[in-house]
Copies of this chain bind each other. A is one copy, B any other.
Amino acid sequence: MANSNKILQTNLQAALLAISLDRTAQTSLHSQLTEALRQLILSGQAVPGARLPASRQLAQDLSVSRQTTLTALDQLVAEGYLETRRGAGCFVARDLPHLSPPAPTTIRGPLAKGPTPLRPFHPGIPDMTLFPHAVWARHLDRAWRQPEPALLAPPDPLGWPPLRAAIAAHLRAWRGIDCAPGQVVITSGATETFELLSRALFTPGDRVLIEQPGFPPMRAALVQAGLIPQALPIGGAPPAEAKAAIVTPSRHYPLGTTMPLPRRLALLDWANRRGAWIVEDDYDSEFRYTGAPLPALMSLGASRTIYVGSFSKLLSPALRLGYMVLPPALLGLVSTAMSQTGPRASLVPQPALAAFMDSRAFATHLRRMRRVYADRQVALRTALLRDLPDHLVTQPDPSGMHLVCWPGPALSLTDTQVATQAATIGLTLRPLSAYWPDSTGPQGLVLGYAAFAPDAMNTAVRQLALLLQPGSAPVST
């Protein structure tokens, strides 16, 4: 035993002499020494009970000042790695456990996902380069340079009140919705909105009607929440036992159609009679190019309708701000659901966004983007008609940020094949069939145009034409 202690002591002595300190490093010598000694203990080279040389000896061995070794040893005593015994010097603490080597890490997960580069024709993304950054930065600066006291108090979990008022005013002007600011709840986006609604309104096993086709992550989120998604029937009455219907009446996602008035009224009537809820997902209806925007479904019957909006398409996905408008009867339930997780929307952009929405610049920006996106839709249709007239067939769409392209007679590939091949040349095309469960839908392709300048789309369509009809050189500009 004494012999094995001797060996350990000799090993420790050698290990100590092997410590190398970098005199040119930014880290102080005593920090380097502390870390080196800590590692000797943690690696088992210095075992519990082993005696360290005196600080003076250690200083001499390592060619450092005695103050350096004293500081390092004191720090390790404070941290519990070393203990001192009166007159006997410094020892590795004896109450440290015997350490096993780490078990091999068995996790074989997928690789981390980095950002998805923005390539034509990624749908649903606004053109961030046209955002009025200077105006926005000024609002941020003004809101936070000398923040009003309410901004420093504990925040209202339902959102910054002036932003809720600005949203109510915007919805009145643009969407025909008559609501009080107190009915508006700010969230970090549509996903959190739907999570809050799921927790507030439903219990696992409830049936929720969704549109078919529809936004695939919505179906997945409902399943994740323990709910049973069911297709909303196109004709006839919704099933009696469903608790809610989630719909995109202003502009069906992804088809872009508008829900006709009789169907809106029948849906409201069903909700009124059954005590069910209608969740109106109004994701991009401000971008309507011909005629006045159709009023929101909520403007027809506010007592059983929940309106869901977001600033991701309207302004910028970087904001991470969305909102919902609730019938007053639901405010308590949703605020209880929110108190379980706490609010997730950052307060930082909220006062700036409120001031921006209250200014003329906001409506000016929306009108400008409406013109830009309308022009881009024309540019995309023109390019498709020129280079792929027999492959992809489109109709002018009075609104939105993407076009649905139907297969023409010359297209010999499936929509999934087109999307896969387009991805190899750096183009993002979404197969329409994938918007149905199990990708069983009709053939087509969804092409976003809002984020792309006409030149970029011309080039991309030409590349796509070369891919789909490799024999014939496309006609130049």
Q: Which residues of A contact B (CB under 8 A)?
A: 35, 38, 42, 75, 78-81, 93, 95-103, 105-107, 109-118, 122, 125, 128-129, 131, 133-134, 136-138, 140-147, 151-158, 176, 182, 188-189, 191-192, 195, 200, 217, 220-221, 224, 260-262, 265-266, 268-269, 272-275, 291-292, 294-295, 300-301, 303-304, 317-321, 327, 329-336, 338-349, 352
Contacts and interface: CB of A to CB of B under 8 A. Distances in A.
A109 B199 CA distance: 13
A157 B115 CA distance: 6
Contacts of A217: 340
A110 to B, nearest CB: 4
A376 to B, nearest CB: 17
B81 A154 contact: no
Most chain-B CB neighbours within 10 Å: which of A35, A109, A266? A109
10 contacts: A42-B265, A97-B266, A131-B152, A137-B141, A137-B145, A188-B344, A191-B342, A191-B344, A318-B346, A320-B348
A102 B304 contact: yes
A377 B341 CA distance: 30
A142 B138 CA distance: 10
Contact of A344 (B110, B192, B265, B331): B192
Contacts of A129: 152
Contacts of A221: 340-341
Contacts of A331: 109, 111-112
Contacts of A272: 100-103
Given A109-B336, A140-B141, A265 B99 contact: yes
B191 A341 contact: yes
Nearest to A160: B318
Given A109-B331, A113-B335, A191-B344, 14 more contacts: A96-B261, A97-B262, A109-B200, A111-B331, A115-B155, A116-B154, A117-B154, A128-B152, A133-B146, A134-B145, A138-B145, A188-B344, A345-B346, A346-B349
